[in-house]
Amino acid sequence: MQHYSKLEVWRRSHELVLALYRCTDSFPVTERYGLSTQLRRAASSVPTNIAEGSKRATPNDYAHFLNIAEGSLSETEYLLILSRDLGYIPQDVARDRLAEVSELLRMLHALRKTVQKDAPPNPALQKPARA
């Protein structure tokens, strides 16, 4: 498996984190330890889990971390919607970020499916044979 930093989905998710850090700088002071922090954590969890999973011993472990990244990205999506609806992020900026989130979700899903395809079957998940 190639180094995580060579994956387009990792590079783009890292760029999204940087953009969201800049966006949240202008949030109200009252959100410093609220929505701003939560959005930053959710977004930064995406490339972090891609990186961590890439060094796991098995494809199933890697797929699990990619699935966690998908969950964090979905959380980021909602927090962006909330930030937009509260007026903390301009409509056009939110639209662009949400479009990027959508594309990243598609890319992460495809990567996870590819990794799972290469994984040996997990006997614990197999259906028992019928007699």
Question: Number of C-alpha atoms within 13 angstroms, CB side, residue 20?
Answer: 32
Residue 84 and residue 57 in contact, taking contact as beta carbons nearer than 8 Å: no
pLDDT for 37: 96
The domain 7-118 having CATH identifier 1.20.1440.60: the answer here is yes
Nearest residue to 15 via CA among 92, 32, 23: 23
pLDDT for 32: 86
Residue 50 and residue 10 in contact, taking contact as beta carbons nearer than 8 Å: yes
pTM: 0.87
pLDDT for 2: 72
* DSSP state letter for 67: H
Q: Is the dihedral of CA 40, 41, 42, 43 positive or negative?
A: positive
Spell out, as residue ranges, where the chain has pLDDT lower than 50: none
- Domain ranges in the chain are 7-118
